[in-house]
């Protein structure tokens, strides 16, 4: 059985993961409108991945006999100054999510909730990957220049994501 403290915290994280999906979907739509189809595809796949993360938390609460509590998802902005600004925000957002996951790990340890602690290790590893990917794309944008014409090859490469 999951403690009420962990249940509430993980329910909050479900909302945060769905917000992340919403954020990345909005970024994808912006890239579509800028005719950067590869960036749009990468971000749309990222949005789906965030939904999957939310469901992983959801399934964990259910498996532990807890109750799901879904709150409203905060609206996101719809315009960015450039593709580089989008990926600056993606990287900063992933760093913020890492902090949230770390706080859950600390809470699980404090609560002596070994099952939650173990499940959260998957997210700890996932966040290393998420930050690395966002940082690498941002670095590439900074190398080629944050100008749509310069982003053509990177856009093509990101469009290959499955």
Q: Per-residue pLDDT tens for 100-129?
A: 999 999 999 999 999 999 999 999 999 999
Does the pLDDT of residue 148 top 80, yes or no?
Answer: no
* Integer Rg of the chain from CA: 17
- The tokens describing 126, both together, are 């996932």
Residue 61: give the domain boundaries: 4-68+78-158
Tell whether pTM > 0.85. yes
3-state secondary structure string, 110-146? HHCCHHHHHHHHHHHHHHHHHHHHHHHHHHHHHHHCC
What is the tens place of the pLDDT at every residue in 53-82?
A: 999 999 999 999 999 999 999 999 989 999
In a domain, 99, yes or no: yes
Residue 49 domain-assigned? Answer: yes
In a domain, 137, yes or no: yes
Residue 73 lies in a domain: no
Closest alpha carbon to 135 in 100, 92, 98: 92
Tally of domains within the chain: 1
| Cα separation, 104 vs 64, whole angstroms | 16
CATH assignment at residue 55 = 1.20.1260.10
Say if 100 falls within a structural domain: yes
CA dist list (Å): 82 to 3, 15, 56, 136: 44, 27, 32, 17
pLDDT of residue 147: 85
């Amino acid at each position: 059985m999951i403690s009420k403290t962990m249940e509430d915290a993980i329910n909050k994280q479900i909302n945060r993961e769905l917000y992340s999906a919403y954020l990345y979907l909005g970024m994808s739509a912006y890239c579509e409108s800028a005719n950067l189809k590869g960036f749009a595809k990468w971000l749309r796949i990222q949005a789906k991945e965030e939904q999957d993360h939310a469901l992983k938390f959801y399934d964990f609460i259910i498996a532990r006999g807890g109750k799901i509590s879904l709150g409203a998802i905060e609206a996101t902005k719809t315009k960015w100054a450039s593709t580089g600004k989008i990926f600056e925000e993606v990287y900063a957002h992933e760093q913020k999510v890492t902090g949230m996951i770390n706080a859950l790990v600390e809470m699980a340890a404090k609560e002596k909730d070994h099952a939650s602690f173990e499940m959260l290790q998957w997210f700890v590893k996932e966040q290393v990957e998420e930050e690395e990917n966002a940082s690498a794309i941002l670095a590439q944008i900074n190398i080629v220049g944050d100008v749509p014409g310069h982003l053509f090859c990177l856009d093509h490469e990101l469009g290959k994501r499955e």
